[in-house]
Amino acid sequence: MTTGVRRFAGVVIAAFAALVIPVAASAHALLSASSPPAGSHLGAAPGVVSLEFDQPLNATLSQATVIDPTGRDWTGKVDSAYEIRIPMATNVSGIYTVDWTSVSDFDGHRISSSFTFDVGIAGPSPVLAANAVPGPQPSDIAIGVVKWVEALALLFLAGQVLVSNLALRSPPLEWVRPRFRASSLALSAGLVAVWSEATVGSGGHSLSNYLAFFNGWSGAALIARLVFEALALIAVVRGWRSLPLWVAGALVMLAASGHAAGVVPAWYGIGLDAVHLLAAGLWAGGIAALAALRPPMGWRSTDARVMLARFTPVALAAFAVTIVAGGLEAITQLGSIQALFGTAYGRVLLVKMALVALMLPLSAMAWRLERPHVRIEAALAAGVVAAAALLSSFPTPPTSAARQAAEDAAATPAAGLPSGDELTMAGAAGGDLVGLSLSPGLPGLNRATVYVLPIDGSASAKGIAANIAVNGVYKALATCGDTCRQATIDMKAGDQIWVDLLDGAGSAEAKFTIPALPAQNGNLLLAQLETAMKALTAYQVSEVLNSPGTPPIHALYSSDSPDRTTWTISNAGTTIWIGTTQYTQDGPGQPWQQQQTPVANTVPSFVWDYYRPLTNAHIIGQQVLDGVPTTMVTAFGTFLSTPIWFTFWIDAGGRASRVAMDAPAHFMTDTYTSYDEPVDIRAPAG
């Protein structure tokens, strides 16, 4: 074989090695869904912000923070393998920013991003998008190149192992003596790659963070990869016959520490990737090993032709396996043809495939005519290698199944929520939301459906047992879903009903009083409420917010149309919102801070405005508040899959004297006073 042909062979092998290296994409843990979603316009702050990811998370290194409009941070933690939950005890109006960092438990890749939602802003506001697949960072590209070198060295080493074993067949070919120097390159590149991944993934050089990074499947696979590479180097130095075992182990761990571990089931993804790599080592690595040899009489000699004859059947079989496994991997990782054309990862993969496809006819013609176009093939090979390096910096797009699973997990289950025109009420059992719906809502036997949602989310609701009692007589509630419990009860007007929840931490009760049956429809009163409240020019609201695990938060709001509001929270911080300007004072005597809001304040505006249409409206009784007779009306609303129950105390003029809102981890009561009494709200001086 001439020098030009050997160079050409080296270029072709490098290109194909780049093609078959599936370590390119990392198993990034991408944000698939959030509650509330990015850009949501809410009437009240959620009690919990939940983030769902499409990969399992490293619980120690993954985190999220919500920054409320006052600048206070609310920090969350990984609640389950795929979810971060951030409890909040605030109801401040303005824009909330969610900053999150995910570290994949599959390969330790780190991603950070942000999005926003707003509370109490009537008009549109600018938001930061969520769920976008982030682009590569310089560190991603650098690590991808190092991993490519590591994989290329392992493939070449596997090829040398194959060629040396083929040479031992009878008659032995004494001139075939690979030096296996790639073993030291593989270990060196592996050490750099693993150290770099650990440094980036752990977010710094903290020993505890490094330990957290390696504590899990991905860390174990990375360490095992280095161990196999070290054993391969020792086997080369000491002449051990176990070298093929260590090389094969390193290639399997290369698959186990990459995005293949993110395939469901994991054994299939890792197994497929390992087969792909091993076959590539036999085929492409074998050709590279041949190109590095120098037959005594050249490649047209009898001994050289014997070597080629032994290698060809192995190469053809390995080539077929590589193509089939590579195709299955592309289907598995991309999930759809649309992802091939509609994502950055897919488009880079298309470029890479096109360059290789262009190389094939040129390479075949060059070998057949023995006139290789070295510069052209070298340029194409450089393009393939560049595409491989770039591909290593992009995450594989989440499959539609993964996206749907994350969205289903983030959405609040509907099991147990009111249906039709059922009489429904809600309350708190400790920190858990409890909704009670009754059908047919008449004296006598009724189906009682209880909705249970703890602060930790619907997954934790599975472990909660529940009983229901009518006037002190208890019976067990049967499970009808993660958040649903049911029983048949005998009831009448005036009965006291308790719903008792029991879990490992103890028990808590929610109490309800049965109104006159059948309960009258409350839609007309809600319509009168809407008309009367929207006609107000000024009012005050005294608010009490109860969130699990925190003391009650008291706030006092004063509003004057068309765009002036001021509020004080727990007798401390004060905010004045006039038009598009907010003035905030952290405490008495503290300096005022000024900031612009994306939209102007709107007065009057009320919390229930954001949860229309309200359904299941029923009159449940009469009550005198501060000497004012009121009619109590319950109603149910939902916003972005979040269940909300309201109770309104409506006076004879259709105005709300009191409004209670029961939502997940968020139990709030607003008392309205000073209707149409002008209030002096002005910008602070200085």
Asked if pLDDT for residue 380 goes beyond 50, the answer is: no
**Range from 542-546, 607-611, 668-672 carrying the lowest mean pLDDT:** 607-611
Structure tokens of 415? Answer: 């099991």
438-488 tens-digit pLDDT = 999 999 999 999 999 888 777 788 888 999 999 989 999 999 988 999 999
Residue 280 has pLDDT above 50, yes or no: yes
Does pLDDT of 270 surpass 60? yes
Is residue 410 pLDDT above 60, yes or no?
no
Residue 221: predicted pLDDT: 86
Is 330 or 34 the better-scoring residue by pLDDT?
A: 34
* Predicted pLDDT at 24: 34
Cα–Cα dist 33/649, whole Å? 36
Q: What is the pLDDT of residues 11-32, one digit of tens each?
A: 444 444 444 433 333 446 778 7
pLDDT grade, residue 378 (50/70/90)?
A: very low
SS3 assignment, position 381: helix
What is the crossing angle of helices 3-20 and 266-280, to 10°? 180
Q: Any idea which fold 412-513 has? A: Immunoglobulin-like (2.60.40)
Q: Residue 366: pLDDT above 50?
A: no
CA dist list (Å): 442 to 420, 447, 509, 520: 15, 10, 24, 11
In this chain, the answer to whether the domains covering 38-119 and 523-673 adopt an identical fold is no
- The fraction of the chain above a pLDDT of 90, given in percent, is 30
Q: Where are the beta strands (DSSP E) in 342-495?
A: 423-429, 432-439, 444-453, 465-470, 473-476, 478-481, 484-491
Distance CA 235, CA 245 (A): 10
CA distance 401 to 407: 10
Question: Within the chain, what is the greatest distance between any pair of CA atoms?
Answer: 112
Q: Looking at the DSSP assignment, which residues form a beta bridge with residue 64?
A: 76, 100
Confidence of residue 415 (pLDDT cuts 50, 70, 90): confident
For the ranges 332-346, 363-377, 588-602, which has the lowest average pLDDT? 363-377
Task: Name the burial class of residue 419, with classes exposed (0-12), middle (13-18) and buried (19+) by CB atoms within 10 angstroms of its CB.
Answer: middle
Non-local (6+) Cβ contacts of 480 within 8 A are 415, 416, 449, 486
The pLDDT of residue 405 is: 47
Mean pLDDT value of segment 130-152: 69
Long-range pairs, 528-531, Cβ under 8 A, ≥24:
528/650, 528/654, 529/633, 529/648, 529/650, 529/654, 529/655, 529/656, 531/654
- The three-class DSSP label of residue 609 is helix
pLDDT digits (tens, 9 = 90+) for 423-441: 999 999 988 999 999 999 9
pLDDT category of residue 137 using cuts at 50, 70 and 90: low
Confidence of residue 202 (pLDDT cuts 50, 70, 90): confident
Answer yes or no: are the C-beta atoms of 314 and 162 closer than 8 Å: yes
The answer on pLDDT for 541 being more than 80 is yes
Which pLDDT belongs to residue 639? 65
Residue among 537, 422, 551 at smallest CA distance from 486: 422
Mean pLDDT of 165-174: 87
Q: Please indicate whether residue 132 or residue 381 has the higher confidence score (pLDDT).
A: 132
Indicate whether 263 pLDDT > 70: no
Q: Tell me the pLDDT tens digit for each residue of 388-407.
A: 444 544 555 555 445 554 45
90 against 205, higher pLDDT:
90
What DSSP state is assigned to residue 57? Answer: B
- pLDDT at position 48 is 84
The helix, strand and coil proportions of the chain, stated in percent and rounded to the nearest 5, come to: 40, 30, 35
Structure tokens at 278: 């091993």
Q: How many CB atoms lie within 10 A of CB 554?
A: 14
CATH of domain 38-119: 2.60.40.1220
Rounded distance between C-alpha atoms, residue 459 and residue 480, angstroms: 14
Residues 588, 454: Cα–Cα separation, whole Å: 37
Give dist(CA 597, CA 578) in Å, integer.
10
- CATH number for the segment(s) 523-673: 2.50.20.10
Q: Is the pLDDT of residue 373 over 50?
A: no
pLDDT computed for residue 303 by the predictor = 79
- Cα–Cα distance list, 176 to 23, 166, 349, 680 (Å): 31, 9, 37, 95
287-296, 496-505, 530-539, range with the lowest pLDDT? 287-296
The whole-angstrom separation of Cα 65 and Cα 50 is 11
Q: What is the pLDDT of residue 64?
A: 93
pLDDT at 174: 83
pLDDT at residue number 179? 83
Can you give the pLDDT at residue 533? 96
Mean pLDDT of 563-567: 93
101 contacts 78 by C-beta, under 8 angstroms: no
Hey, what's the torsion of the CAs at 520, 524, 530, 533, to 10 degrees?
-70
Instruction: Find out whether 372 and 10 touch, Cβ atoms under 8 Å.
Output: no
Tokens of 71: 């600048």
Lateral strand order in the sheet of 465-470: 473-476, 465-470, 496-503, 506-513
pLDDT at 269: 77
CA–CA dist 608, 597 (Å, integer): 22
**pLDDT value at residue 5:** 45
- Chain mean pLDDT for the chain: 80
**Residues paired with residue 497 on neighbouring β-strands, in sequence order:** 470, 512
Other Cβ atoms within 10 Å of 424 Cβ, number: 26
Rounded Cα distance between 502 and 461, Å, is: 10
Q: Helix 3-20 vs helix 374-391: angle between axes, to the nearest 10 degrees?
A: 20
Token duo for residue 451: 């909705």
The domain spans of the chain are 3-23+136-403, 38-119, 412-513, 523-673
Higher pLDDT, 276 or 452: 452
pLDDT for 518: 95
Q: For residue 8, what is the DSSP state?
A: H
Euclidean distance between CA atoms 577 and 602, whole angstroms? 10
* Tokens describing residue 310: 């032994």
